[in-house]
Amino acid sequence: MKLEDRMAVKLLALASVQLGKAVNETLCTEPDPRLIKGLLADVKEMLSDFEQQYFRE
């Protein structure tokens, strides 16, 4: 696997971690919608970056 592909996969892993945080927050007794929205925005950005790097779009 090329270095660029490995870096892209790291972005995918980071997106997964952020998504996990968002899921955990939504399961709280009093979730913070602003925090969830921010985490999801981060996930979307990381997924977009991953697609661009991994698939060279």
How many helices (H) does the chain have, and how many strands (E)?
Answer: 2, 0
Please give the mean pLDDT across all residues of the chain. 93
How many CA atoms lie within 13 Å of 51's alpha carbon, on the beta-carbon side? Answer: 7
Per-residue model confidence as pLDDT tens digits over 24-46 = 999 999 999 999 999 999 999 99
Task: With cut-offs at 50, 70 and 90, classify the pLDDT of residue 1.
Answer: confident
What is the reported pLDDT for 3?
Answer: 81
pTM above 0.85, yes or no: yes
